[in-house]
């Protein structure tokens, strides 16, 4: 009996093993067939069918680059990239504008990795958390930065008529593979930066312009890049004014077109700046200044820059400076403060100079007098300019000086409420742009040396807004 039971058990195990083997073989065949659909030589076509995307021309060639630093540096980089793409007859891949703490330049691999990892993918819930509620760990930096597309600021459709471009919302090479149909191993040629200012690109092979060796390490001719067969040429940094030269006549013309086109045209910027300019007396009715004094390399030379602007204002207005004027070194009291009993704590200059201040209406009425009543608008990152001793000499001599603070309550309310699609406020980035546009609409403009903000206003915004009314010296045309 026991022997018979053992035989039944052995038979059962054998049959069970046979069934399992047959089942395993059946499943393996199915899996093999499924895997073949994905990984067969034509598997890329199957993947494309699963992920809807634009059909890419397999013969189209592209130029890509890595953005970094603040808004104006990204703007300069975009201009250089548009120039180079035109020279190479390639479609430019245009990344969005990054608004937030600046990403510093690094070697290609490091900078590329940082940009790829700077994403809000999967963080949609962060933007839905009510104000005042605690943020989870993954959302702590959510509101510190955002991105917008370049056509938020500029007429990119107009540029597209001269130079093909397409948005690159994702910096990963996987995006290039799925969206452009390129093979990252053989279709992408990377120019790996050896330094922050590695190369300067020459459009004219016969150029005799010497390389600025104080800044750049080597000369790179367009022909070297034009001969590359890869579908994508990927640059690292293209930042720096003059990084890509435009010496050939047709290239000079194209560069001039770009600079005429890359004028801040966001509706809220135009609306706000026009309202403030109207209050000041209208287009070309005042002097615009830009004084960057609050950070980095602009702090130490700030007193000298203010003094230089004061001397230029003396030349424009013809006023006589206050005799024996001494610039205060302590913060000035807020206007309207009761300073009785505290005179010993006030700067000595305040006992000698009675600061006159007029509102915009009174200044418009006295506009014809000129001189000390010349209307002046200061765009600055300086905190509370009227109380800042750095600006005291200007305010003490000219009663019709205004800053953005004077118009904030009336004209910045709408702008301060603007948010991007991710819920991040845009005011901290747009307010300096309002400052730039307003200062650019004066008859004269004076800027801060080495400031990309000032250079942009001087060379592009100011000519665009008042170039048909006044020449570079402020003389009527």
SS (H, E, C) 86-142: HHHCCEEEECCEEECCCCCCCCHHHHHHHHHHCCCCCCHHHHHCCCCCCCCHHHCCH
Report d(CA 451, CA 72) in Å as an integer.
9
Residue 472 pLDDT: 65
Residue 132 pLDDT: 86
Please provide the size of the chain in residues. 477
Contact yes or no for 356/399 (Cβ under 8 A) = yes
Element housing 63 (H / E): strand 62-64
Q: Which DSSP category does 244 fall into?
A: B
Contact yes or no for 184/177 (Cβ under 8 A) = yes
Beta carbons within 8 Å of 155's beta carbon, 6+ residues apart: 261, 265
| 91-94, strands of its sheet edge to edge | 165-167, 91-94, 62-64, 232-234, 188-190
Report d(CA 394, CA 71) in Å as an integer.
29
Residue 477 pLDDT: 56
Q: Nearest CA to 467 among 448, 439, 442? A: 442
Contact yes or no for 233/90 (Cβ under 8 A) = yes
- C-alpha dist (Å) from residue 239 to 137, 176, 258: 34, 23, 16
Residue 369 pLDDT: 85
> CB burial class (10 A; 0-12, 13-18, 19+) of residue 154?
buried
Residue 336 pLDDT: 47
Residue 355 pLDDT: 81
Q: Nearest CA to 422 among 126, 93, 12? A: 126
Residue 386 pLDDT: 92
Contact yes or no for 239/105 (Cβ under 8 A) = yes
Beta carbons within 8 Å of 315's beta carbon, 6+ residues apart: none
| Phi, psi for residue 142 in degrees, rounded to 5 | -55, -45
The tens place of each residue's pLDDT in the chain, 477 residues long, gives 545 555 555 565 555 555 555 544 543 443 333 333 232 333 333 333 444 444 578 889 999 999 999 999 999 999 999 999 999 999 999 999 999 999 999 999 999 999 999 999 999 999 999 888 999 999 999 999 999 999 999 999 999 999 999 999 999 999 999 999 999 999 999 999 989 999 999 999 999 999 999 999 999 999 999 999 999 999 999 999 999 999 999 999 999 999 999 999 899 999 999 999 999 999 999 999 999 998 889 999 999 999 999 999 999 999 999 998 988 776 655 554 443 334 334 344 444 567 888 999 999 898 888 899 999 999 999 999 999 999 999 999 999 999 999 999 999 999 999 999 999 999 999 999 999 999 999 999 999 999 999 999 999 999 999 987 776 666 775
Report d(CA 440, CA 462) in Å as an integer.
4
Contact yes or no for 244/83 (Cβ under 8 A) = yes
Residue 368 pLDDT: 85
Tell me if residue 310 falls in helix, strand or coil.
helix
């Amino acid at each position: 009996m026991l022997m018979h039971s053992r035989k039944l058990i052995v038979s059962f195990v054998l049959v069970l093993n046979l069934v399992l083997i047959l089942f395993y073989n059946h499943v393996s065949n199915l899996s093999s067939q499924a895997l073949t659909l994905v990984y067969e030589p034509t598997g890329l076509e199957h993947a494309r069918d699963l992920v809807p995307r634009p059909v890419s021309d397999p013969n189209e060639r592209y130029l890509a680059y890595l953005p970094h630093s603040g808004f104006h540096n990204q703007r300069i980089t975009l201009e250089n990239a548009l120039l180079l793409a035109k020279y190479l007859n390639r479609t430019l891949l245009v990344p969005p504008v990054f608004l937030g703490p600046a990403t510093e330049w690094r070697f290609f691999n490091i900078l590329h990795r940082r940009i790829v990892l700077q994403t809000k993918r999967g963080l949609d819930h962060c933007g839905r958390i009510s104000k005042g509620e605690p943020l989870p760990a993954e959302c702590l930096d959510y509101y510190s930065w955002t991105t917008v597309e370049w056509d938020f600021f500029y007429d990119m459709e107009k540029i597209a008529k001269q130079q093909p471009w397409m948005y690159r919302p994702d910096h990963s090479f996987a995006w290039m593979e799925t969206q452009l149909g390129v093979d990252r191993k053989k279709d992408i040629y990377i120019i790996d930066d050896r330094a922050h200012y590695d190369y300067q690109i020459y459009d004219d092979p016969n150029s005799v312009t010497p390389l600025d060796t104080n800044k750049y390490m080597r000369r790179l001719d367009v022909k070297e890049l034009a001969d590359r067969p890869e579908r994508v040429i990927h640059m690292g940094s293209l930042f720096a004014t003059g990084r890509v030269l435009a010496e050939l006549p047709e290239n000079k013309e194209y560069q001039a077109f770009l600079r005429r086109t890359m004028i801040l045209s966001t509706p809220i910027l135009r609306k706000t700046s026009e309202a403030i300019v109207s209050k000041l007396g209208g287009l070309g009715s005042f002097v615009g200044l830009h004084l960057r004094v609050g950070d980095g390399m602009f702090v130490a030379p700030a007193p000298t820059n203010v003094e230089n602007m004061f001397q230029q204002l003396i030349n424009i207005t013809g006023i006589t400076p206050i005799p024996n004027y001494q610039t205060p070194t302590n913060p000035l009291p807020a206007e309207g403060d009761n300073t009785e009993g505290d005179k010993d704590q006030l700067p000595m200059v305040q006992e000698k100079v009675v600061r006159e201040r007029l509102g915009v209406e009174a200044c418009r009425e006295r506009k014809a007098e000129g001189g000390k009543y010349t209307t002046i608008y200061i765009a600055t990152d300086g905190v509370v300019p009227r109380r800042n001793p750095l600006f005291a000499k200007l305010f003490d001599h000219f009663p019709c000086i205004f800053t953005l603070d004077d118009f904030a309550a009336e004209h910045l309310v709408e702008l301060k409420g603007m948010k991007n699609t991710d819920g991040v406020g845009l005011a901290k980035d747009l307010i300096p742009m309002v400052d730039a546009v307003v200062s650019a609409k004066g008859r004269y403009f004076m800027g801060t040396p080495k400031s990309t903000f000032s250079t942009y206003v001087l060379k592009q915004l100011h000519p665009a807004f008042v170039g048909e009314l006044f020449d570079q010296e402020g003389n009527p045309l």
